[in-house]
Structure 1
Amino acid sequence: MKGFEDVQPLPIVTELPDELCQIMYTEEYKQTMGIARALLQKQEYSKRALDLTAKVIGLAPAFYTIWNYRFDIVMHMAEQEEDAARLLNEELDWVDETTLNNPKNYQIWSYKQALLERHPAPNFKRELPVLELMINDDTKNYHVWSFRKWCVLFFQDFSQELSYSDLLIQKDVYNNSAWTHRMFVLKHSNPDREQIDLELDYVKEKIELVPQNVSAWAYLQGLYENFLSGSYDAGILQFAQMLTNNVTDSAESPETTLPEIESSYALEFLATVYAKTDATKKKAVKAYQALAAKYDPIREAYWQRQISMLE
């Protein structure tokens, strides 16, 4: 390979006679990997070694040993560089280009974290465009969301996260990743009661828009459990009852006379709240029975289990 004539590639296959299956590597792959192994063994931290790791990662993006080697090279070069920030910014630019072609490669995200942790002047705003681009491409990409959460904590910058999650929820009210991120932000930003009340209004508005949305109901319950000590007020119970046609308050009736309701998740929400106190456990049992009989029969075994725990 040009530029590596002085390097004797190390073999990447054992060529043992009792191998169950030999992988049919291409000559390019064997040569590239062989040279990379040789440089790694010599601990060569040069520009050509850095360029070679980019080629290796292009061939095998999940090769974590090469990612570690590349990181060592970059750190070694940064120590010799007067402007380490410029070097690390160039490396972050390279990572971003690689990320767009490998959106679910977890090595990339841990690599970016390691670079930012050692960056003399890391910048959250620099990370936002590629994160937004990738989330727009796949709103449920766990790796991207996890990295965004890490960035928020690392930079201690929560200033735009609620508005960003709202933008995504407006586009897709079922986006559970956005709802989860919103709760994550609240848990780490110490909101006061006024903000929690605003969040309650926010989620109720989204529930009224689409009553049968488990993400919004989970968020609503999370607000009460995490910020209001699990103390559910009469207003929120009435809100849920309106979407369940007051099933839990009606007289005992067979399955055929159960009314239509707007949201089985509203009924599950009520059951969960009613199960908290002895005075309302009968209502909880009735809610679970209705879920098992008509509104969510696919989980009948689960509802029956809930009932048995209350009796």
Structure 2
Amino acid sequence: MHGRLKVRTTEEQKLLKEKENNKKLGLYKKGMTFILGSRRKDSYDEEAFKLSTQILQNNPHVYTLWNYRKEVLLIEIERRDKEPEFLIEEFLDTELRFVEQCIIISPKCYSAWHHRYWVLNNHPKPNWKEEFKLCSKFLARDDRNLHGWDYRRLIINKIGRILNEELKFSTDRIRTNFSNYSSWHYRSTLRTLDEDNLEEELDLVINAVYTDPNDSSAWFYFRWILSHKELLKEKCEKVLDDLMVLEQMEPDCKWVLIAKNWASQILSDDDNIINRKSYAECDLPKLIDMDPLRKARYVDELKKVTDSIGDNN
């Protein structure tokens, strides 16, 4: 009717989208052909370099173009040796600003992070301290980005960092968001677990699982602590007591039962095998009902415990 906007049907929208995508794909292929066809050992085409910038701004995951840009940067770095007045620092700083934009567009792009580190390693005056601040800013924006955590480790190797400062940083990030596997994993790389810090780590992770028992992130860190059996023999009973209290509060949480099973294994030496059997026979049948996708695993584990009892009798 007159005076009304025409609303496109789903099929029309689909055809328009497909047409638009085909146009973009055609431009992308044409651009890539032009860029790769312009490659030279001792020079580069400025128009091709600008075109690579445009493509990466739309899709930073085209790793071939990052490798192409490395070739261009190496040409310019060699140019500095022939022309001392050439401001290579300014050229590389421009590249760093460009990579930062790409990371903002796609924070989990491996190629962009790797390229940024490569540029800094080839920079005559890399500012690693400023880079560390930028990395912290990225993690504050998205602290579940494993690429940011990996990058942080690389930068720390350049500037050095006091252990307590990094422990505090990881603690702050964990307390901001317990559901952060990357933060927990990073913490496990900072120091070796020993008798001096065991209590601190146990308190932190127990607090986390009590706060959100259905989140798996802290439980994986909890299991990492439990893997240090030689440290936990004396504290294992207390850990089991804490888990049993949590079970009463959260009877439908499978992670509590799984953790009890982990902890009871620490007590599964010859003197405490009966104790291990009591936990297994109580918890594993519950897990079979609560976690049917892993039923065979729990059945097999229960059989192993039962058989071990028979072997000890």
Q: Are the equivalent residues in 1 in contact too, given 2:236–2:263 (CA < 8 A)?
A: no
Matches within 5 A, 1:1-311: 24-26=22-24, 28-40=27-39, 44-45=43-44, 47-81=46-80, 82=84, 84-157=88-161, 159=163, 160-187=165-192, 193-210=195-212, 214-223=216-225, 225=227, 230-244=230-244, 260=251, 263-275=256-268, 277-294=269-286, 297=289, 298=291, 299-310=294-305, 311=307
C-alpha distance 236-33 of structure 1, shift in aligned 2 (>3 A): same
Q: Are the equivalent residues in 1 in contact too, given 2:240–2:264 (CA < 8 A)?
A: no
Paired AA for residue 185 in structure 1: L
3-state secondary structure, aligned to 1:268? helix
C-alpha distance 244-64 of structure 1, shift in aligned 2 (>3 A): same
Structure 1 alignment gaps of length 5 or more: 1-22, 248-258
Please report how far the alpha carbon of residue 246 of structure 1 lies from its aligned counterpart in structure 2 after TM superposition: 11
Paired AA for residue 116 in structure 2: K
Number of residue-to-residue matches in the alignment: 272
Tell me whether 167-176 or 110-119 shows the greater mean CA deviation: 110-119
C-alpha distance 90-301 of structure 1, shift in aligned 2 (>3 A): same
More helix by share: 2
Tell me whether 203-212 or 169-178 shows the greater mean CA deviation: 203-212
C-alpha distance 24-211 of structure 1, shift in aligned 2 (>3 A): closer
Distance 1:155 1:52 in 2: 35
Residue of structure 1 equivalent to 2:16: none
Output one character per residue of 1:208-255: Cα deviation in whole Å (capped at 9) or x when no partner. Answer: 5445554334324424545xx6331333422322431599xxxxxxxx
3-state secondary structure, aligned to 1:234? coil
Q: Are the equivalent residues in 2 in contact too, given 1:165–1:181 (CA < 8 A)?
A: yes
Q: Are the equivalent residues in 2 in contact too, given 1:158–1:185 (CA < 8 A)?
A: no
Q: Are the equivalent residues in 2 in contact too, given 1:264–1:296 (CA < 8 A)?
A: no
3-state secondary structure, aligned to 1:203? helix
For normalisation by structure 2, the TM-score amounts to 0.71
Give % identity.
22
Distance 1:155 1:268 in 2: 42
3-state secondary structure, aligned to 1:244? helix
Paired AA for residue 278 in structure 1: D
Please report how far the alpha carbon of residue 260 of structure 1 lies from its aligned counterpart in structure 2 after TM superposition: 5.0
Distance 1:207 1:153 in 2: 32
Please report how far the alpha carbon of residue 164 of structure 1 lies from its aligned counterpart in structure 2 after TM superposition: 2.0
Paired AA for residue 273 in structure 2: K
Please report how far the alpha carbon of residue 280 of structure 1 lies from its aligned counterpart in structure 2 after TM superposition: 2.1
Please report how far the alpha carbon of residue 178 of structure 1 lies from its aligned counterpart in structure 2 after TM superposition: 1.0
Structure 2 alignment gaps of length 5 or more: 1-20, 308-313
Distance 1:300 1:283 in 2: 23
For normalisation by structure 1, the TM-score amounts to 0.71
Distance 1:221 1:230 in 2: 14
The alignment yields a C-alpha RMSD, in angstroms, of 3.4
C-alpha distance 246-121 of structure 1, shift in aligned 2 (>3 A): closer
